[in-house]
């Protein structure tokens, strides 16, 4: 133990230190990951992720387009049904009004000018109502198509 201290105090320390050696550079190159004993390169992994991402985007676009088409066809169907219902209802109303007006016109007493003007007014209003309903239904159809 005494000799170790003597080496520390004296010039023995320089004798124990070696010269600088050539530096060694360690470079670690990770080219992929290992899963279950299979080495998967990063380039292949990136390619797989990009392909999956593009497939996902394509699926979202496709299903959005399908939903929009389905919604459009449902709205078109509902508009056609509404047009048919309104047309049938107005036709029946027109028939009933014309029957009533014929009944009034065929009665024995002659119609006054006021009653005749009311009859003409009812017929004009009925025509206007039919045209307005068709226009409104067409506006709704144009809005959703």
Q: Which tens digit of pLDDT belongs to each residue from 20-50?
A: 888 888 777 778 888 888 888 888 999 999 9
Q: Are 41 and 52 in contact (CB under 8 A)?
A: no
* 16 dihedral zone (left: phi>0; alpha: psi -120 to 50; beta): alpha
Greater pLDDT, 74 or 114? 74
Count of domains observed in the chain: 1
Q: Are 72 and 140 in contact (CB under 8 A)?
A: no
C-beta separation of 131 from 123 below 8 A: no
Domain extent for 80 = 32-144
The answer to whether position 87 is within a domain reads yes
Domain assignment of residue 12, yes or no: no
Residue 139 lies in a domain: yes
Question: Does any domain span residue 2?
Answer: no
Does 135 map to a domain? yes
Q: Is residue 47 part of a domain?
A: yes
Phi and psi angles of residue 35, each rounded to the nearest 5 degrees, phi first: -125, 115
Q: Is residue 132 part of a domain?
A: yes
Output the pLDDT for position 89.
Answer: 81
- Reference 12, options 23, 20, 21, 3; nearest CA is 3
Q: Tokens standing for 5?
A: 């201290």
Domain assignment present for 63 = yes
Please give the model's pTM, rounded to 2 decimal places.
0.48
Q: What is the average pLDDT across 86-103? A: 79
CA distance 90 to 109: 29
């Amino acid at each position: 133990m005494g000799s170790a201290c003597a080496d520390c105090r004296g010039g023995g320390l320089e004798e124990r230190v070696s010269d600088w050696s050539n530096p060694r550079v360690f470079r670690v190159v990770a080219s992929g990951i290992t899963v279950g004993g299979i080495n998967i390169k990063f380039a292949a992994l990136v390619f797989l992720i990009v392909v999956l991402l593009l497939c996902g985007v394509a699926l979202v676009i496709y299903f959005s387009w399908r939903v929009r088409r389905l919604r459009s066809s449902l709205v078109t169907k509902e508009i056609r049904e509404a047009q048919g219902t309104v047309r049938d209802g107005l036709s029946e109303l027109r028939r009933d009004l014309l029957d009533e007006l014929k009944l009034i016109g065929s009665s024995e007493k002659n119609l006054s000018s006021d009653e005749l003007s009311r009859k003409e007014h009812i017929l004009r209003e009925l025509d206007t109502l039919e045209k307005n309903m068709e226009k409104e239904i067409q506006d709704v159809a144009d809005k959703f198509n």
